[in-house]
Amino acid sequence: MRQTGHSIGRRAACALLVSPLAALLGRAQDRPAEPYMDRTKHQMLYDGPGGDEPEPTDLTEIRLGYFGPSEPRHVQGGGFWLGASKALAEVNRDGGYRGLPFRLVAKWSDSPWTAGGRMVVEMAYVDNVWAVIGAIDGVGTHIAEQVIAKVRLPLVDPASTDRSVNAAMVPFMFSCLPGDPAIAAALAPELAREAGPRGPVLICSTGHDERHCADEFRHWFAARSPGIERVLDFEPGSGELARIVDQAAGAAAALIIGNVADTAAVVRQVRGRSPKTILYAGPSAARSSFAWLAGDSAEGVRCPVLAKDASLEDGKDFAALQSYDAVRLVVAAIRTAGLNRIRICRALAALSPWQGAAGEIRWSALNRNARPVAAGYIRGGRLAVLDHPA
């Protein structure tokens, strides 16, 4: 086809325009993306309405929601209830709130996905609680968080280490424990050193909290050599742990991440099948109920130290201490702000840094406690810091 001078000129003009634009786009792609606002750099606060509503004058008690089992012998949640109950008894002996006693309104289902949301709604609208303490795990906390975000009710979480609990950026959500990234950062270097050139074996439950915790260890080892030698998954409450344990036999070191009962069962079986394997475990091993279920097999297990002065033999574990602190923190906020959910939320944010029985509570920008975690090991029913191999 014959090309005219005009068409050639148009193409040349377009090339002159496109070339600088392409160069600019290329330079822009080389630069890292800069967000308009990074919420992880700014304290998450509620600035909406509701803080000027007056206190009610016809109350006979001050109700606090407790989203967890009110059974001291509950394997997963008993320690949290004991700590919360102890704190409540103390604040009531100390005068409650202007002479009115505090009361915990406890609701729980071991299948929280089916009934948990309804229970938190009942706390908010039927029981008229001023704040909620809970839950005992990440699943329950996620469920409660969905409700409190809509009803504008403070939720103080004493149990979850799952970082995604705070990822929704709900200003009414406060998490008292350090997160899984801090746990992995404390334990992984020691685990890598003791595992040696083959790397550790990871024995992990497929439960919600356990998967999130294991992911942090996977990320840590993925950037290093050697990485994790092998990953062995099991369903929570599985009756086929023997097959998993057989595959881990002979490893220099193994990391076990499961709920309290599963972690204790795996530890007992690995001790019997591969006694020379050095055992690490997630937060479940730092529980009194774990020490009771694992018996003598608990001795020497490495685990995170999540609370100062924690003891496993007398029930004074991080669960009891942190739940105790959660209740005391809420009471302190109420005594400061009065009976108004919005003001209580703002007071909770403003109380940081706050010194509790488990240690300092210092909120990050996403309202997760930034307290450091230490690597520890179980020795004679107590947790000792792992300064050197035990």
Q: Which residue positions in the chain have pLDDT lower than 70?
A: 1-32, 36-42, 388-390
How is 30-96 classified by DSSP, letter by letter? HSPP--S--GGGS-----SS-TTPPPPS--SSEEEEEES---TT-TTTHHHHHHHHHHHHHHHHTTT
- How remote is the C-alpha of 122 from its chain's centroid? 25
* Fold category of 180-305 in CATH: Rossmann fold (3.40.50)
| Cα separation values, 270 from 19, 195, 248, 294, Å | 65, 15, 8, 11
pLDDT at 315: 85
Domain 62-178+316-361 in CATH 3.40.50.300? The answer is no
Residues 6+ apart with CB under 8 A from 2: none
Phi-psi group of 24: left, alpha or beta (phi > 0 → left; psi -120 to 50 → alpha; rest → beta): alpha
Rounded to the nearest 10 degrees, what angle do helices 208-222 and 138-151 cross at? 110
Q: Output the CA angle 181-364-133, nearest 5 degrees.
A: 90
Kindly report the backbone phi and psi dihedral angles of residue 378, in degrees, each rounded to the nearest multiple of 5, phi listed first. Answer: -85, 125
Nearest to 293 by CA among 335, 263, 267, 264: 264
Q: What is the pLDDT of residue 389?
A: 46
| pLDDT at res. 390 | 44
Residue 16 has a pLDDT of 46
Are the folds of 62-178+316-361 and 180-305 the same?
yes
**Residue type for 344, please?**
I
What pTM did the predictor assign?
A: 0.88
The domain limits of the chain are 62-178+316-361, 180-305
Instruction: Tell me which DSSP letter residue 40 carries.
Output: G
pLDDT, tens digit, 9 for 90 and up, residues 178-222: 999 999 999 999 999 999 999 999 999 999 999 999 999 999 999
Query: Dihedral sign, CA of 375, 212, 232, 230?
Result: negative
